[in-house]
Chains A and B, each alone.
Chain A
């Protein structure tokens, strides 16, 4: 048994080497690595575990929203802010979590919309890490 434990230890240590290399170099590293998250961001996988569904706010353009969006999401972008905000307020139950998303990590409109929602007194407001693309990925 002692010899088996010693062999197992050697194997476990050797396996660390490619694991560490993968952590540094792998092209398919988890996009939702918590270390990469900004303070107000949440992961699609995390949201899926919430007991109560959040109010999804789509910060993309109307065209993108109409093409496809997260079920039950409401549209709210900066271009149509004044026209769309009343609709968001109607859909939102006070206390319900709001999660804003745009297309991917490359866009910043979700953060801008989240900031304006907080300024309007809504809380708690989070941003979906990786946006629409990450949500689609999490559904596969």
Chain B
């Protein structure tokens, strides 16, 4: 069980670090993706596009350390809930947008897959949060 927990911890942190680095490299594209969700005004979308990638990276790094594990996981959990809420709103509005999740772009919106992926990540984070 300890090994599974360790592997999952590294896998989840690796995913968030990857997602953060990709977005940190191109905040312009990410800002457009955020803006397309039609939740934030342009200025806030730009600010979020600049901040969120680093929050993901640092929270993921924190989750790998003993000292900041719980805080890092708490941030990642909160982010997942926010991402799923934003995706849910966009889905309900029928927007054909890029997810903006990992920097790459699908040809068309793929909400079922994005939500499933986020739900799996959320479950993994919840499980990790409960582990010592």
Report A's interface with B, CB cutoff 8 A. 3-12, 14-16, 18-19, 22-23, 26, 28-35, 43, 45-46, 48-49, 138, 140
Residues of B within 8 A of A43 (CB): 42
Q: How far is the CA of A22 from the CA of B28 in the complex (A)?
A: 11
Interchain CB contact under 8 A, B51 and A19? yes
Residues of A within 8 A of B35 (CB): 45
Q: In B3-27, which residues have CB < 8 Å from any A CB?
A: 24-27
Residue among B26, B32, B50, B72 making CB contact with A19, cutoff 8 Å: B50
Question: A7-B62, A29-B28 are contacts. A35–B70 as well, Cβ < 8 Å?
Answer: no
Central interface residue in A4, A30, A48, by most chain B CB within 10 Å:
A30
Interchain CB contact under 8 A, B50 and A28? no
- The prevalent SS among residues of B at the interface is helix
Question: A4-B74, A5-B71 are contacts. A35–B43 as well, Cβ < 8 Å?
Answer: yes
Q: How far is the CA of A6 from the CA of B70 in the complex (A)?
A: 10
Interchain CB contact under 8 A, A15 and B51? yes
Number of B interface residues in the complex (CB < 8 A): 35
Report B's interface with A, CB cutoff 8 A. 24-29, 31-32, 35-36, 38, 41-43, 46-47, 49-51, 54-55, 57-59, 62, 67-75, 105
Q: How far is the CA of A46 from the CA of B27 in the complex (A)?
A: 17
Residues of B within 8 A of A28 (CB): 25-29
Residue among A11, A18, A30 making CB contact with B68, cutoff 8 Å: A11
29 CB contacts below 8 A, A to B, read A3-B70, A4-B71, A4-B73, A7-B62, A7-B68, A7-B69, A7-B74, A8-B72, A11-B62, A11-B75, A12-B75, A14-B58, A15-B55, A15-B57, A15-B59, A16-B54, A18-B24, A19-B51, A19-B54, A19-B55, A22-B24, A23-B50, A28-B27, A28-B29, A29-B27, A30-B32, A32-B42, A35-B43, A48-B36
